[in-house]
Amino acid sequence: MVPPADLLDIAIDHHQSGRLDEAEHLYHQILQVAPQDHNALHLLGVAAHQLGRHTEAMRLIRQALAVDGTQPKIHNSLGAVYQALGNLSEAVACFQQAAMLDMDYPEAHNNLGLALLGQRRPTDAISVFQRAVALKPDYAAAHNNLGTALYALGRNAEAIDCYERALHLSSDFWEAYVNLGNARQRLGQLEEAIACFKSARGLMPKSYNNLGNVLLLMHYREGITPDELAAAHAEFDRAFGVPLRETWKQHDNDRDPKRRLKVGFLSPDLHVHPVGFFVVGLLEHLDPDQLEIVCYSNSNLVDDLTTRIRSSTSLWRDVLGLSDERLDAQIREDEIDILFDLAGHTQGNRLLVFARKPAPIQVSWAGYPGTTGLDAIDYILADRHEIPPDAEPHYHERVLRMPDAYVCYEPPGYAPAVAPLPALSRRHVTFGSFNNPVKLNAEVVAVWARILDRVPKSRLLLRYQGLDDPDLAAHLKTLFAGHGIDPDRVSLQGKLPHSQLLALYNEVDIALDPFPYNGGLTTLEAVWMGVPVITCPGETFAGRHSLTHLSTIGLTGTIARDPDHYVALAESLAGDLPALASLRAGLRDRMASSPLCDGERFAGSFQHVLRDVWREWASA
């Protein structure tokens, strides 16, 4: 008979080589002979955890601790199980205990940092990750995680240094490439970010988000065409959609064309987010006799807007952490008739669930600026401005059009009152843009510089998360200086609480919309705060957000034909302050009385569109 110690060595070898079934079998053999062997109990629990059997893992690891509670690795493993179950407070306690038992245990410090990040405590996490890399300088994962904590605090240059250090230590660390891409994107380095995401995809081609990150950023490129976007998104379906078609099953939903329909919304953004502001007014006005609403939230973020959205649903499911297979099965069990994707290729999406076709009718709406590329998604909900008839060939989905705008907007109740035109007291015009700096390409900067040149003493106020980064601020000011604009005329403001962000519009006279990726929620918020928005629509969905918003409000006088007209409109508005003040004073009422803020009207049209597509499916 092989001694338990020798069996344990063999089992560990199997475990480390990924042969978990064989390792588990040997651990059980050891425990038959030595039921109090804490090493076998611990490692059997670790194997169960790695195989997704977390409840069993917790029982076994606790048994090991009952035998010997002085082992830091066992506390560390129990923390990992708690973390997988979403119990971060217990996970933190376990990792802290492991680190206390062995102050030189870098893995425990790294895991503690991750749990603190999960609790949104990046400042606390930084010191813990720094301890991990001090103990183990070649610890690539800890360098990467330290970068993530710094990134969360807007310390972008430091974060980039950490990600690059992680990649220097581990050149095939694809997650570090993703994080580096995110940091580059925040600093407005579009092509560098795309290159990072492409590197990540090369290392991990089976990760659909790596391709999705590239697809999303393509919308920001100068000169991007609808044909290029359509072709790139078609690649996503070939790579990830087609292989899942064999999982499609027949839908046996009752085909009664008049019955109450079950409509699902799947999103990571059912909180204070553009998607949250777009769906809440709709959900609160839908007829419960016609539609039963089920929301699938792929996020652990909860705020007051989440509460409003949740109270407007028949059923709410928190699905973060559910596998694609399990979520697919859940949606089928819920017998959803029409399922909406509200994320596209943005962070937290579940496109591989949609690729499994869990509902007979699937629709893309509100969360992504164009086609998803998936044949499994039947429709995209738009309007005549976002997708005119001649643009339909660029979409893999069939186009459904709302009669007014493709979204309705619910302004937050905490939005401050509109202040008088600041230029009247300051004696100079302040232009502003609160858009993502990745949208500020060379042509946008050149056009805005022309405006500043044509409007004497005018200033430009830019606001977005990360714009208080000294490197990014200096870079943007240098770009304007290259066009002869004094850097002191360009002011930058970083991340703000949403109420303060809205209040900052009271310092702006005229908003400038970037291109080819226009503002969406930013345009709506500017107008709600009395600030007219000058836009130059393009051909892509992302380039037509402001066109549809301003057209629905009736503010068509600020829609430019081309960049030259854009400059002329800005100069004209800035040159007549009494008219600009009058326009400002009436914008909120004008917007509030428009279809864009009429949730009841939008809900009625929405129900009509859904009933039409249901009748078509039911009669097929």
Residue with more model confidence, 535 or 22: 535
> Can you give the CATH number for the domain in which 433 is found?
3.40.50.2000
Higher pLDDT: 394 or 8? It is 394
pLDDT of 2 > 60? The answer is no
Region 567-594: what's the mean pLDDT? 98
Indicate if 344 and 454 belong to the same structural domain. Answer: no
Q: Cα(66)–Cα(62) distance, rounded to whole angstroms?
A: 6
382 and 348 belong to one structural domain: yes
Residues 563, 451 share a domain: yes
Question: Which residues lie across from 297 on neighbouring strands?
Answer: 267, 318
Report whether pLDDT(570) > 70: yes
Question: How far, in whole angstroms, is CA 369 from its chain's centroid?
Answer: 13
Residue 92 domain flag: no
* Predicted pLDDT at 47: 85
> What pLDDT is recorded for position 173?
97
Residue 340 belongs to some domain of the structure: yes
* pLDDT at residue 3 greater than cutoff 80: no
Which CATH number fits the domain that encloses residue 300?
3.40.50.11380
Residues 494 and 559 occupy one common structural domain: yes
251 plus 384 within the same structural domain: yes
Judge whether residue 601 has pLDDT over 70: yes
Q: Does 441 share its domain with 330?
A: no
Q: Which two tokens mark 315? A: 């059923």
- Looking at beta carbons, which pairs linking 288-292 to residues 24 or more positions away fall under 8 Å? 288/314, 289/260, 290/260, 290/261, 290/607, 290/611, 291/260, 291/261, 291/262, 291/263, 291/607, 291/610, 292/260, 292/261, 292/262, 292/263
Q: Taking 60 as the threshold, does the pLDDT of residue 365 lie above it?
A: yes
Same domain (yes/no): 470, 544: yes
Cis bond leading into 563, ω under 30°?
no
Radius of gyration of the chain (CA): 27
Per-residue pLDDT of 408-459, as tens digits, reads: 999 999 999 999 999 999 999 999 999 999 999 999 999 999 999 999 999 9
Phi, psi of 490 (to 5 degrees): -115, 115
What share of the chain has pLDDT > 70, as a percent? 99
Residues 434 and 489 in one domain: yes
pLDDT at residue 4 tops 70: no
Sheet order of strands, 490-493 included: 490-493, 459-463, 430-433, 510-512, 533-534
pLDDT digits (tens, 9 = 90+) for 269-313: 999 999 999 999 999 999 999 999 999 999 988 999 999 999 999
Residue 99 lies in a domain: no
pLDDT at 500: 97
Task: Report yes or no on 210 lying in a domain.
Answer: no
Q: Does residue 321 carry a pLDDT above 60? A: yes
Q: What average pLDDT does range 383-399 have in this prediction?
A: 97
Mean model confidence pLDDT for the chain: 95
Which of 181, 225, 184 has the alpha carbon at shortest distance from 207?
181
Classify residue 481 by its DSSP letter: H
Inside any domain, residue 478: yes
Task: Dump pLDDT digits (tens) for 28-84.
Answer: 887 887 888 888 888 888 888 888 888 998 998 999 899 999 999 999 999 999 998
Question: What span, in angstroms and rounded, lies between the C-alpha atoms of 410 and 18?
Answer: 51
Residues 277 and 394 in one domain: yes
pLDDT per residue as tens digits for the range 306-320: 999 999 999 999 999
The two beta strands, 510-512 and 533-534, are parallel
Write out the H or E segment, with its range, that includes residue 166. Answer: helix 156-169
Contact predicate 532/519, CB 8 Å: no
In a domain, 464, yes or no: yes
Evaluate if residue 532 carries a pLDDT over 80: yes
Could you give the number of structural domains in the chain? Answer: 2
Under the banding of pLDDT at 50, 70 and 90, the label for residue 327 is very high
pLDDT value at residue 34 = 83
Evaluate whether residue 537 is within a structural domain: yes
Domain shared by 443 and 585, yes or no? yes
Is there a single domain that holds both residue 467 and residue 528? yes
Reported as a pLDDT band with limits 50, 70 and 90, residue 21 is confident
The pLDDT of residue 38 is 86
pLDDT at 5: 66
Q: What is the pLDDT of residues 120-134, one digit of tens each?
A: 999 999 999 999 999
pLDDT band at 370 (very low <50, low <70, confident <90, very high): very high
Let me know whether 392 and 471 are in one domain. Answer: no
DSSP state at residue 559 = B
Domain range enclosing 590: 422-597
**Burial class, 579, CB count within 10 angstroms (exposed 0-12 / middle 13-18 / buried 19+):** exposed
Write down the pLDDT at residue 52: 86
314 assigned to some structural domain:
yes
Residue 472 pLDDT: 87
Model confidence pLDDT, tens digit, residues 99-108: 999 999 999 9
